[in-house]
Structure formats: structure tokens, C-alpha cells
Amino acid sequence: MIVSPATIQIQWQEELRSKFNLDFIRMDRNAAEAALREYGADANPWSTFPHIITSMDYLRQPAVLEQFKAATTAMYRGDSGVLPWDLLIVDEAHNFTPNRFHDDSQRTQMLREISAHFEHRIFLTATPHNGFTVSFTGLLELLDPVRFQQKAELSTGDQKQIRVVMVRRLKSELNARSVRPRFAKRRVKALQVDLT
């Protein structure tokens, strides 16, 4: 399942289809209603499709989240140790960053509730966190609660664990590995400004 802002769902769907030949359904109110019409009033749209892209703001709605959790509970085979979902990809993950201890937004609460049902998790973002260690470690805790805990300061051990799980790609690195640079070189020119 992919959770992203609504504005990039179509891009995710098209890229997955063209690059990997994977068909993902965009789960929103219209898709849920269509699934109910096609499969019956008792069908749960979240258990009907194997590949889903959904909006972070659609899934955070209480009734929708409860429907997702009901489908997940029905899929869970606890005796086998297999989690109901294989992979959760969260795009624009910085939108889920906790602000302070026990001060979760609806998006953060939703991600906290669903992430435990996925065997693997990938959080994607091109936006740095807000600069507060407690927010960054809160996001890391959502990614891997065994390895990370939300805290105000990072220890040396935390730094080592971050290097294990985080992949960072800079534009300069991508250009260096490309035959033709993908990104224009940045040039900064200082301008003298005299204040009066």
C-alpha cells in the first residue's frame, strides 16, 4: 500500500504501471463505493484489492481508518506470524512527523495505528525534517519502533542505527553517476545590499 498526498496519486499509479507493470487502484470515496456496488454491501474495499494507493487525508478519516483496520484484522493470520500487508510506502513522510511527545496530528495517529500491520516500511521525503530532534526521532519510531524511540537527543548508537536505515541521495551524487547530468548545477551569486 502506498500512502501519499492526493495530488501525486495519479503519478504513483502511472509510474508503477509503466515502470513495473503493476496495477494499483487509487482508494478514495469513489473507489470504495464502486467496490461496494460490484462486490456487495458487506465487502470491505481494503481487502478487495491487493495493490492500493491512498491519500493520507482520506485514510485518516475515522470511519475510513476503522474500515481499513477491520479488513486488516480479518486478513491477519497470527498463528503463522505473517503480517497482513507486505509493504507500506509513505511518500512525503515529513507530513507525518510528530511535533512533541504525545502531541500527534491526525495523520501521525493514523500512521502509528496502521504501520504495525506492515512487514516492511519505506518512508520517502525530499523535505528535511523541521529541525527538532524529538520530531525526527518520532518519525524514525514510526518507521521502526524496535530500533528507535522518540527522544530529545540522539546518542552515538542512534546515529549508527540511522546510518543503517537511511538512504540519502544528493543531486550532485546523481549527476556524478549519470552520463548526462539530470540536474542543473547551482550557482549562487552574492549581491551587495546597503541598508539605510
pLDDT, one tens digit per residue, over 30-50 is 999 999 999 888 888 898 888
User: Across the chain, what does the average pLDDT equal?
Assistant: 88
Q: Which residues have C-beta within 8 Å of that of residue 154, sequence separation ≥ 6?
A: 133, 137, 162
Neighbours of 52 (CB within 10 A): 19
Whether 95 contacts 5, CB under 8 Å: yes
Helices 62-75, 106-115: axis angle to 10 degrees equals 10
Angle subtended at Cα 176 by Cα 171 and Cα 178, rounded to the nearest 5 degrees: 95
Strand partners, 85: 118
pLDDT in tens, 102-131: 678 899 999 989 998 898 999 998 876 777
User: 50 in helix, strand or coil?
Assistant: coil
